[in-house]
Structure formats: structure tokens, C-alpha cells
Chains A and B, each alone.
Chain A
Amino acid sequence: MRQSFIMRNPSILIFLACLATFTLVVTLMSEAFGFDMISTSFVKTLGKTLCLCLVALAMDLVWGYCGILSLGHFAFFGLGGYMIGMWLMYARTELIVAGSLANAAIPPTDAEVVSAIGNQIFGVVGSSDFPLIWTFASSLPAQLALVVIVPGLLALVFGWLAFRSRVAGVYLSILTQAMTLALSLYLFQNESGLRGNNGLSGLQNLPGVTASQAVVSIWFLWASALALAIGYVVSAWVVSGKFGSVVRGIRDDEARVRFLGYSVEGYKLFIFTFTAIIAAIAGALYYPQAGIINPGEVAPIASIYLAVWVAIGGRGRLYGAVIGAAVVSLVSTWFTGGQVPSIPLGVYTVDWVDWWLVLLGVSFVLVTLFAPKGIGGLFDLIAGRLAPDRHGADYGPDKGSLQQEEGRG
């Protein structure tokens, strides 16, 4: 009766095959490695979309599987971006400064170099000193470690405080919104040491790399695809075994899990921190492709979008989250990019740049009402799987528990 991990989860192989095909096709169509059929900026959009799929995966783990409706996971995403952005900015400015000082009559001292870098980076906020949080900015390994450590620690402390006090349901959602809002407001201040509302910019230029953006964009596409593949397999492994059983039990009936002797708080904290780290890694890959990060990125609305993606894609199934994030964010790019023709109604012209959000909101409501399984539910039609008849009742008494319509037979 014991089957291998892959055998029990055939969707993993299908997913990996689709992802590999996608990456290959984009590479072959790219300017750098193929037939120059799609623009570099579109390759970047696709690479960024893969990162958004990864953070949606994290959201699905924490919400779809564990029932914690966190509306703050973009805070971790943004923090991951800031951490890698600090190194990118420092290292690149260092090269520029070194280049301009090289022609000076007297070779500059180290202190002069650092001060010149500080001037370059912080001149925009009227300062030239490096704040304490930039201590490790000159070291790539240190900043890469911080990509995981800083969001992980924030999630650990926040989660410990929240779960220990048994904050759950809508109160926890509000608390996570407050967290991401607080982070965003803090980063907006010039004194935060991360250049206030200017954010970190020029992140698309990798220090010391002479390759063109066309090549770099494909590198990042590959890296994002690899991260998504690894993230998918690890997530599938986490939710497939006994741990996944307990986590889904917590979603449907927390009290029952507690009376089985499992420390619900510990499990929630584990999932919360784990998904925060996934989100941070996704952010660290996203922002070098976006080129700029500013505090607006961690605004509360971003995390709400994340929940909408997962809901539209199909909560409680990993490929659902990926599909939701990919479809909604790409369609969103299309609509907000002004490429969709406006609809003249005589007295009023429907301009999709303005009306896209309304359309998104309406589709969210429609999906919630009429297709709770989301886009991912279409696969059940193909596989012919039916949900057990629960006579209209949900799978558990808890707020986050699966509804009957979301069941997977």
C-alpha cells in the first residue's frame, strides 16, 4: 500500500512538466537565447509572474491548508526584496564610485570610498551616513542569509505573539493587515534607513555583470522557475504526509486537533514562518526583475490581492494557487497596461485601466458564490472527481474550514 511520494501526488509531475515546457518555450522565444519573438520586458513580466506564483503557493499553504487567512504575507515578500536590494544597490554604487575615484591623483582610502557610496545612495534623503541596518550590505552571502532571517524572524515573533494569545479568524487577518501597514509606514520614513518613499532602485543592474538585460532577464526567469519548482515540491511534501493531515485538521476543526494532543499553536507558527520564508525568497527574486522596490509594495492592498489570486485559482490545492496568481496577475498587467480597447458607451467610455479593479472585484464575488473551487476546480471535471455530499454543511466548524463545495472527493 505504500507508494512513493511522486506516485501519491501525480500533479507534481504534471506541474513540473508544464513549468519546464513554459521555461523552454520562453527561452526559445527570447531575444537572448532564441528567435527574438518576445520583448525583454515581457520576459521580465513572465519571470515576475513566476515569483508571484511562488508567493501565492505560500499563501495557499497558510490559508488554503492551515486556514489562517493571513493578509500580511506581502510584507515578507517585500522584506525579502529589500534585503537583496540593499546588496544590489551597495555593490553597484561601489563599482561606480571606485570607477570615478580611480582617476584621482591620490588613491582614496576605504573610508572615503564608503562615504562616497553613502553619499550616492542616501543623498536623495539628505544624508550620507550608513544606518546600522546596512552593516552587512557589502556582503552578498550575508544579505542572502538576511533574505531568509529577517522575514523569518518577523513571522516567528509576530506569529508567536498572535497564536499564543489564540488570535484567530478575522481578528488575525486584521492583525496581519496592521503588521504590513505598520511596516509600510515605517519604510516610508526617511529615518528608516531604506531611502523612504524613494525605495531602492536600479536593482535590475547586477554588479559586475556585463551581460545585457536581455540575457539577465532569462537568467532570472530560470532562477524563478527553479525556485517555483522547488517550492512546489517542498510544499507538496509538507502537506502530503502526517504533518499535512494535522495542518488540514487545524483548518477544519482546531479544537479537535488540540484534544488529540497536538500543539495547534506550534503547528500554526511553523506554517506561518515557513510560508513567510517562501514569500521572502519569492520577493528576493521578484525585485531584481522589477528593478525598483518602494514601501508602496508592502501596502495592505498587496496582501489582499494575494488572497484574491488564491481564491480565484482554488484554495487548498497547490496548482490552484499557481494558476490563480499567473492568470490574474497577467490579465491584470494586460488590463492596466492600457492594451485593452476601451468601450465607448456614448455618454461614458469604459476605460479598462480604471475599471479593471471593478472587473476583478466582480469576478472574485462570482467565483466565491458560484465556483468556490476556483479555476483549479476545472481539473476535477476532467478527473471526474466528486465531493462527498455533506448536505450543505462545511467540513468543520472553524471559520477557515473547507466548504462543502471546495471538497475534492
Chain B
Amino acid sequence: MSNLLEVSGVSVTFDGYRAIRNLSFQIGRAELRAIIGPNGAGKTTFMDIVTGKTRPDEGRVIWGERSVNLLKMSEARIAQEGIGRKFQRPTVFEDQTVFANLLMALKNPRGSFRCLFYKSSRDDGARVEQLASEIGLEDALQRKSGELSHGQKQWLEIGMLLAQEPRLLLVDEPAAGMTLAEREHTTDLLKEAAKTRAVVVVEHDMEFVRRLACKVTVLHEGSVLAEGSLDHVTANPQVIEVYLGR
């Protein structure tokens, strides 16, 4: 009832292979959640379903106070509802400046005519600068994002996500390719973000998940195997067998 997102009984089949089987998942309004699982467990497919990229064969995905059905919406519409997604590899618009990247992500009307006649306001400029300083790119605003280092691109993408002001953040392997210091910064940022919104982190790295100190959902072969604190799930014999034991 106080859940922000409720996924129930969802199944997806790709060419006869059942990637997701009868998956159910809930997350509250301000909650940090980690999803772990071996390769092929359906973690990315789960994100694809929530963001509208993949349509499930059956099941329901219910969102927000008004309990709207996400399965009937387009990707763009779902994003406008407040679901932001960060991909595994950093995807920023490399041909454009950091400023343009952030401005594009900023929560503003998305229609084509509104964008055509968009006038940059003082508020938006200030908001972009504030975001840039949060992600440590305040000196790089006029640089093309293609010039940034891998880590900086990851930050820029997180900045773009925050600019969208989403109510649910889906983050795919945020720590991949980051240094230890960068990882700590990322952990802090995700924890901070989870105070006001729901954050779902898909991660392979157990150390990173432990640092997040949140509820963990273990996926295996497309359905939930265990759920609870990290210590709780790692004590589960089934989890040890399919995931940790290998």
C-alpha cells in the first residue's frame, strides 16, 4: 500500500528461453535496495521491464499512489513518471558539452514544441551549476563530454539522473571500473539519494553491496531466491549454492 513500485507475477520469454519467471518485487518510497544474482539471473531484463523497454508476457507492474499500470506506457512516458535509469557503461552525449547534457536531463517539459521555444532561465542555469558541483564537474561545464575520463562520465550520468529528479532510480553496476575513492563517493551519493526516493542498485561486487548496508534481493533464473539483509541472504544455503559457492 505504501509501495512505490509493485511488480507481481511477471514472466518474459525470449525465443523459448524464460528469462523472468513469475517475478514479484516491491519497493517503498524512500528505500535503498540491492539486487544481486549470477549472470543470466534476469537482473537487466527486470530493469528493462520496469523502464518499458521489454514487454512481459504476463504479470503486472503497478506504480505510485494512483496505482497506474506501467505496462501500457511508452519508455518516454515512464521516464516522465519519474523512473530514471543508469546503464552499465556510461552513456552520455559525447558530442555535446557537459552543460548541454545536464540541461537536457533537467526536469522540464519534454514536448518538442516546448523544447524548441525553450529559453534558458536563471533558475535552470543555477540548478545545472549546482548539480555540476555535486558531481565535481563544475570546471568542465563547457567541455565536450566525450573528452571526459571514464569516471567523470559515470559521474556525469549520475548527475543527469539526479537532474531528472526521479522517484525511482535504477542503477546498473555503478561501481564498475571505479577506483576505491570513487566507489566510496558513489556509495555516499546513492545513500543520500535513497533518503528521498527509491533506489535500486544492481551489483556484482559483494564488497560494494556490503557498504550500501541495505536490504538485498537475490535473483536466480528469473525469480526471487531470497530477500533480506546481506548477512541473512548469504547464510541461505540455496544462495550459497547458486551464487556464492561457485
Residues on A lying within 8 angstroms of B by beta carbon are: 1-2, 238, 241-243, 245-246, 248-249, 252-253, 255-256, 258-264, 266-267, 270, 388-390, 395-397, 402, 407-409
- B147, closest chain A residue (CB): A388
Closest approach, in angstroms, between the C-beta of B115 and any C-beta of chain A?
A: 4
Closest approach, in angstroms, between the C-beta of B90 and any C-beta of chain A?
A: 10
The CA of A1 and the CA of B129, in the complex, are separated in Å by 12
The CA of A396 and the CA of B93, in the complex, are separated in Å by 7
Segment of B9-17, B73-81, B173-181, B192-200 in the binding face: B73-81
Contact between A253 and B93 (Cβ–Cβ < 8 Å)?
A: yes
B220 within 8 A of A: no
Contact between B112 and A266 (Cβ–Cβ < 8 Å)?
A: yes
B228 within 8 A of A: no
Contact of B104 among A258, A260, A389, A395 (CB under 8 A): A260
Chain A residues with CB below 8 A from B103, complex form: 242, 245
Chain A residues with CB below 8 A from B96, complex form: 245, 248-249
Contact between B144 and A264 (Cβ–Cβ < 8 Å)?
A: no
Closest approach, in angstroms, between the C-beta of A291 and any C-beta of chain B?
A: 37
Closest approach, in angstroms, between the C-beta of B239 and any C-beta of chain A?
A: 31
Contact between A260 and B79 (Cβ–Cβ < 8 Å)?
A: yes
Chain A residues with CB below 8 A from B235, complex form: none
The CA of A243 and the CA of B51, in the complex, are separated in Å by 24
6 further A-B pairs in the complex, CB-CB below 8 A; given A260-B104, A389-B147, A408-B95: A2-B120, A241-B118, A266-B111, A395-B94, A396-B95, A407-B144
Contact of A253 among B75, B80, B91 (CB under 8 A): B91
Binary per-residue interface labels of chain B (30-61) against chain A in the complex, 1 for a CB within 8 Å, 0 otherwise: 00000000000000000000010100000000
Contact between A407 and B146 (Cβ–Cβ < 8 Å)?
A: yes
Chain B residues with CB below 8 A from A246, complex form: 104, 115
Contact between A1 and B105 (Cβ–Cβ < 8 Å)?
A: no
Closest approach, in angstroms, between the C-beta of A387 and any C-beta of chain B?
A: 8
Contact between A267 and B112 (Cβ–Cβ < 8 Å)?
A: yes
Contact of B74 among A2, A263, A397 (CB under 8 A): A263
Contact between A252 and B112 (Cβ–Cβ < 8 Å)?
A: no
**Size class of B's contact patch?**
20 to 34
Contact between B95 and A252 (Cβ–Cβ < 8 Å)?
A: yes
Instruction: Give 4 nearest A-B pairs by CB, closest first.
Output: A261-B79, A388-B147, A388-B146, A261-B80
The CA of A367 and the CA of B115, in the complex, are separated in Å by 35
Contact between A258 and B95 (Cβ–Cβ < 8 Å)?
A: no
B18 within 8 A of A: no
Contact between A259 and B93 (Cβ–Cβ < 8 Å)?
A: no
Chain A residues with CB below 8 A from B120, complex form: 2, 242
Contact between B93 and A252 (Cβ–Cβ < 8 Å)?
A: yes
Chain A residues with CB below 8 A from B125, complex form: 1-2
Chain A residues with CB below 8 A from B91, complex form: 253, 256, 397
Binary per-residue interface labels of chain B (97-123) against chain A in the complex, 1 for a CB within 8 Å, 0 otherwise: 000100111000011110110101000
Contact between B95 and A402 (Cβ–Cβ < 8 Å)?
A: yes
Contact of B115 among A243, A390, A407 (CB under 8 A): A243
B85 within 8 A of A: yes
Contact of B76 among A245, A252, A261, A407 (CB under 8 A): A261
The CA of A261 and the CA of B78, in the complex, are separated in Å by 7
- A269, closest chain B residue (CB): B112
Contact of B93 among A249, A263, A264, A409 (CB under 8 A): A249
- A264, closest chain B residue (CB): B76
Q: Known A248-B95, A258-B76, A259-B79; judge A242-B115 contact (CB<8 A).
A: yes
Chain A residues with CB below 8 A from B115, complex form: 241-243, 246, 262
Chain B residues with CB below 8 A from A258, complex form: 74-76, 79
Contact between A243 and B116 (Cβ–Cβ < 8 Å)?
A: yes
B201 within 8 A of A: no
B186 within 8 A of A: no
The CA of A242 and the CA of B163, in the complex, are separated in Å by 15
Chain A residues with CB below 8 A from B80, complex form: 261
Q: Known A256-B93, A260-B104; judge A395-B76 contact (CB<8 A).
A: no
Chain B residues with CB below 8 A from A255, complex form: 53, 75
The CA of A229 and the CA of B6, in the complex, are separated in Å by 55
- A258, closest chain B residue (CB): B75
